[in-house]
Amino acid sequence: MNEENTPVINYIFYLQMKNELDNSYYLLTDVLSKINITLLPISADDLKVIDRNKKHYLISIRNDFSSAFNFNHMRKSFLDVAMASGKIALFDISSFSEIETAAKYQNKNLYRYFQLPQNLKQVAMTIAVDYFRDRNTQAEWPGGRRAKLPSMINQA
């Protein structure tokens, strides 16, 4: 099977802060599934061992103190390093303030902050637009084209 015929699976990880899933997960799943994006719940331990060869997209919802505490613990252990290396793009939906290093990650399109309370359906649509825009952007070498030297054969 060649690469042109392989189906593209669009997925975003949902960072699960507690043992049970919030209602917001089901609302986001409903909206994103209509536009062909699968929302996969993942725990912090599973997130540490995922494939680091490609960029992953992650949604985090911090709407109470326990989820904020767990999020800060994950940031200290691995999340900040993964975002700094460009391996994780984080969509942070929170009733708390954005992270301290947000400006550095926002410039690289690795962090997007949504202040709660907000309509989660609109947030899901914004996430989908950012996801598809980032996935379809071709990386370009910023240095331009390589200079070519004149041929020495034609000078005789």
Average pLDDT of the chain to the nearest whole number: 80
Q: Which residue has the higher pLDDT, 5 or 54?
A: 54
Cα–Cα dist 12/32, whole Å: 9
Q: Residue 26 is encoded by which pair of tokens?
A: 């089901």
Report the pLDDT value the prediction gives residue 1, as an integer from 0 to 100. 47
The Cα-based distances of 30 to 2, 12, 58 in angstroms read 32, 13, 17
Task: Please report, for the chain, the start and end positions of each structural domain, with discontinuous segments joined by +.
Answer: 13-114
Contact 151, 131 (CB under 8 A): no
Provide the strand spans (E) within the chain. 11-15, 38-42, 56-62, 88-94, 111-115
Position 16 pLDDT exceeds 80: yes
* CATH number corresponding to 13-114: 3.40.50
Mean pLDDT, residues 74-87: 82
The three-class DSSP label of residue 6 is coil
Cα–Cα dist 101/84, whole Å: 10
> How does pLDDT run across 88-114, given as a tens digit for each residue?
888 888 888 777 777 777 767 788 888
| CA neighbor of 96 nearest in space, from 69, 73, 128, 57 | 69
> How does pLDDT run across 110-144, given as a tens digit for each residue?
888 888 888 888 888 888 888 888 877 655 666 66
The three-class DSSP label of residue 77 is helix
